[in-house]
Amino acid sequence: QFSKFLDILKQLYINIPFTDALTQMPSYAKFLKEILSSKRKLEEVSVVKLTEKCSAILQNKLPQKLGNPGTFTIPCTVGGTHFEKALCDSGASINLMPFSIFRKLELGEMKDTGVSLQLADQSTKRPNGIIENILVRVDKFVFPVDFIVFEMEENTEVPLILGRPFLATG
- pLDDT tens per residue across span 9-64: 777 766 777 777 777 777 777 777 777 777 655 555 566 677 777 777 667 777 77
Compute the distance between CA of residue 16 and CA of residue 14 in angstroms, rounded to an integer.
Answer: 6
- The CATH number of domain 73-169, selected from 3.30.420.10, 3.40.50.2000, 2.40.70.10, 1.20.1250.20: 2.40.70.10
Secondary structure letter of residue 79 according to DSSP: T
Compute the distance between CA of residue 57 and CA of residue 117 in angstroms, rounded to an integer.
Answer: 45
Global confidence as pTM: 0.60
- Count the alpha carbons within 13 Å of 2 in the hemisphere toward its beta carbon: 4
Q: Enumerate the CATH 2.40.70.10 domain ranges in the chain, comma separated.
A: 73-169
- pLDDT tens per residue across span 81-123: 999 999 999 989 999 999 999 999 999 899 999 888 888 888 8
Compute the distance between CA of residue 43 and CA of residue 69 in angstroms, rounded to an integer.
Answer: 50
